[in-house]
């Protein structure tokens, strides 16, 4: 469900690189006329078809998937086979090949060329954390993608913006190259052609951006259709809703108050004896806010977790650029279908607004704007400096009446001070993102925080077990998946240098799976909840540091160094 995007990341990166190489070669060697444009569009379509043809093979290569015969699948998971048989018989399609990824990160995805060549994969986490009804609902969702031919549809949908991008880039470079040749001929008609090409480039790029957003919207709609298919197969939309709560929010709490206290006495608690951190708050919030009287996840806990999706402005920001609807939106859509099947809604999310107002008041727009400013602060400073420079240059050549009180020789000093300002902006952003004041928490406490964002973080310490990779089955996943006594959480190991992340993924990450750990880091919400690592400590005393925060300060030092160099040039020129 959430893995389809992750499973295609490496494929998209590879074919993005191929597209860039082909486009560069085309710009240099193909004629910059309509025939050249036709060839580049044809090459783009060929790349898309090539990606469509080879992507399933690459996914099979880069993921560790245990393929099983359908007879074994039927014997081991008869309840899931029942869903598959029902769809295969009704739709008249070939039975998909079944695979299992041995990783406790709960996820599922499907891939292939057509509905008759599909492969359906689930992880051990789906089989371990979800009950049989929820497992069946997840498989039925993935079968929905197969019977709706989403492989083909989404390939076409995402190809259209790529073609528009090709037209935009080709028109831009054609205008540049034709401009060079026009200067030697001084042709008025050539000037008109150049202006027309620039106009086509601008319109095509705008159309590309709009088309890209539309393609993401269509992808989200296809997810809703797959959810609807799941409800039709199971005759109960609640099954997929509760599965989403476990998969997307990681809420697994169940049991009596006594059982909760026993869970908190897990062997991992012994880590506190190491003396690295001292707990200064209880790791167990009121049991009534976590579990209901029936021993299931309480309505209040789910509503608090869903409150971020429904009311935090960051949720709307991420939704716009996401291939999947936010979990709370999907649950609300599934709830509307409960009446069709004559079943009561299990989690209606009606109290989410009240919880949001208790935590954050009526509006969170002011905090969102502050977060957005802090997130882009170095770039904002840079563009302000660039804009002031352009104004000054236009004023010097007489195209702009107002000038900044700077002389030409002061431009070096201006940009020297500018790079100092950018460095300060980087430090301010890092200080805001990597706060101190670490306290012990559990997963439910973190996920219930509606005010958190990618910038506005919660410094936290959690204890539990690493149960899988961040992307299950992916050989090069540097991220991890964590479980404590209350739920599951994605762990983001972000060192700051890609080659270090790659080395960590192939040498260290796998060894941590199955180990009890204490993690110190910053809880963020992406659209999905996650913790960015500062330190991972195992029961044996091994410590793994992450220096993403320190890398931010190093980059600020580079900006200061550039500023110092420019200041030196200005000073020596006096």
Dihedral over alpha carbons 156, 158, 162, 168 (to 10 degrees): 110
pLDDT in the model for residue 406 = 52
Residue 403 is predicted with a pLDDT of: 57
What Cα–Cα distance (Å) separates residue 122 from each residue in 1, 6, 440? 9, 14, 33
Separation between Cα atoms, residue 97 and residue 110, nearest integer Å = 10
pLDDT of the residue at 569: 87
Provide the residue count of the chain.
574
Per-residue pLDDT in tens (0 to 9) along the chain, 574 residues: 444 444 455 555 556 666 666 666 666 666 566 677 787 888 888 888 888 888 888 888 888 999 999 999 999 999 999 999 999 988 888 999 999 999 999 999 999 999 999 999 999 999 999 999 999 999 999 999 999 988 888 888 888 888 888 888 877 777 766 554 444 445 555 566 667 778 888 888 899 999 999 999 999 999 999 999 999 999 999 999 999 999 999 998 543 333 344 444 444 433 333 333 333 333 333 333 444 444 456 788 899 999 999 999 999 999 999 989 999 999 999 999 999 999 999 999 999 999 999 898 888 899 999 999 999 999 999 999 888 887 777 766 655 555 555 545 577 888 899 999 999 999 999 999 999 999 999 999 999 999 999 999 999 999 999 999 999 988 888 999 999 988 999 999 987 777 888 888 888 888 899 999 999 999 999 888 999 999 999 998 899 998 888 889 999 999 999 999 998 888 887 6
pLDDT at 284: 34
Q: Are 116 and 93 in contact (CB under 8 A)?
A: yes
DSSP state of 256: -
Taking alpha carbons only, the member of 331, 339, 164, 137 closest to residue 249 is: 331
Is residue 125 a contact partner of residue 105, using CB atoms and an 8 Å limit? Answer: yes
User: What pLDDT shows up at residue 6?
Assistant: 42
Give the residue among 473, 496, 492 at the shortest CA–CA distance from 482: 492
CB 55 within 8 A of CB 8: yes
Please indicate whether residue 142 is annotated as part of the active site.
yes
Q: How far apart are CA 472 and CA 479, in angstroms?
A: 10
Q: Token pair for residue 34?
A: 């309509």
Distance CA 218, CA 226 (A): 12
- Report pTM: 0.84
Confidence at residue 530, expressed as pLDDT on a 0 to 100 scale = 95
3-state SS class at 323: coil
Of 552, 495, 493, whose CA–CA distance to 517 is shortest?
Answer: 493
Distance, CA of 455 to CA of 464 (rounded, Å): 25
Among residues 134, 142, 303, 478, the one annotated as catalytic is 142
Strands across the sheet with 97-101, in order?
Answer: 66-68, 97-101, 119-123, 108-111
Beta carbons within 8 Å of 324's beta carbon, 6+ residues apart? 1, 2, 5, 219, 220, 223
Angle of CA points 352, 356, 361, to nearest 5°: 150
- Residue 492's DSSP bridge partners are 532
The set of residues, in sequence order, having a beta carbon less than 8 Å from that of 29 and lying 6+ positions away, is: none
Model pLDDT, residue 439: 94
Q: DSSP character for 536?
A: E
CA distance 429 to 566: 24
CA distance 338 to 234: 12
CB 325 within 8 A of CB 224: yes
Rg (CA), the chain: 27
DSSP tag of 265: T
DSSP run (H or E) holding 397: none
Q: For residues 73 and 100, what is the distance between their CA atoms, to the nearest angstrom? A: 10
Rounded to whole angstroms, the Cα distance separating 276 from 273 reads 8
- Can you say whether residue 242 is alpha, beta or left, with left for phi > 0 and alpha for psi between -120 and 50 degrees? alpha
């Amino acid at each position: 469900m959430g893995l389809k995007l992750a499973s295609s990341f490496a494929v998209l990166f590879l074919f993005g690189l191929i597209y860039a190489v082909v486009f560069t070669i085309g710009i240099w060697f193909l004629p910059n006329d309509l025939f050249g444009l036709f060839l580049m569009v044809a090459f783009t379509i060929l790349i898309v078809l090539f990606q469509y043809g080879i992507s399933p093979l690459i996914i099979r290569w880069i993921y560790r998937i245990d393929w099983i015969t359908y007879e074994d699948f039927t014997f081991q998971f008869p309840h899931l086979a029942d869903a598959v048989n029902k769809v295969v018989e009704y739709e008249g399609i070939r039975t998909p090949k079944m695979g299992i990824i041995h990783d406790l990160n709960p996820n599922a995805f499907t891939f292939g060329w057509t509905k008759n060549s599909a492969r359906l994969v689930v992880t051990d986490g789906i089989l371990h954390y979800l009950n049989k009804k929820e497992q069946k609902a997840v498989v039925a969702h993935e079968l929905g993608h197969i019977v709706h031919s989403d492989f083909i549809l989404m390939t076409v949908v995402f190809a259209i913006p790529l073609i528009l991008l090709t037209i935009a880039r080709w028109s831009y470079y054609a205008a540049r190259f034709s401009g060079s040749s026009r200067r030697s001929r001084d042709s008025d008609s050539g000037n008109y052609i150049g202006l027309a090409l620039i106009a086509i480039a601008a319109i095509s790029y705008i159309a590309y951006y709009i088309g890209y957003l539309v393609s993401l919207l269509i992808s989200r709609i296809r997810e809703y259709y797959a959810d609807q298919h799941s409800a039709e197969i199971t005759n109960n939309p609640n099954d997929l809703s509760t599965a989403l709560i476990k998969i997307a929010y990681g809420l697994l709490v169940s049991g009596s108050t006594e059982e909760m206290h026993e869970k908190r006495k897990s062997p991992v608690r012994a880590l506190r004896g190491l003396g690295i951190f001292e707990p200064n708050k209880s790791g167990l919030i009121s049991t009534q806010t976590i579990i209901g009287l029936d021993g299931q996840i309480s309505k209040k806990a789910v509503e608090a977790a869903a409150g971020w999706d429904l009311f935090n402005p960051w949720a709307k920001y991420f939704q716009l650029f996401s291939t999947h609807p936010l979990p709370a939106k999907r649950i609300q859509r599934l709830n509307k279908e409960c009446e069709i099947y004559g079943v009561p809604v299990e989690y209606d999310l009606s109290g989410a607004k009240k919880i949001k107002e208790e935590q954050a008041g009526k509006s969170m727009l002011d905090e969102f704007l502050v977060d957005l400013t802090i997130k882009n602060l170095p770039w904002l400073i840079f563009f302000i400096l660039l804009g002031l420079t352009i104004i000054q240059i236009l004023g010097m050549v007489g195209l702009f009446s107002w000038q900044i009180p700077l002389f030409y020789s002061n431009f070096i000093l201006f940009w020297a001070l500018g790079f100092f300002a950018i460095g300060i902006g980087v430090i301010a952003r890092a200080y805001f993102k990597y706060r101190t004041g670490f306290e012990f928490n559990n997963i439910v406490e973190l996920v219930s925080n509606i005010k958190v964002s990618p910038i506005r973080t919660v410094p936290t310490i959690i204890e539990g077990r690493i149960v899988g990779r961040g992307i299950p089955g992916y050989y090069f996943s540097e991220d991890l998946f964590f479980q404590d006594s209350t739920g599951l959480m994605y762990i983001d190991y972000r060192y700051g240098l890609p080659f270090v992340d790659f080395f960590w993924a192939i040498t260290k990450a796998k060894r941590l799976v199955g180990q009890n750990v204490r993690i110190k880091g910053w809880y963020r919400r992406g659209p999905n909840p996650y913790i960015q690592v500062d330190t991972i400590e195992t029961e044996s005393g091994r410590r793994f540091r992450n220096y993403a925060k320190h890398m931010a300060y190093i980059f600020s030092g580079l900006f200061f160094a550039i500023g110092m160099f420019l200041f030196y040039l200005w000073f020596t020129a006096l």
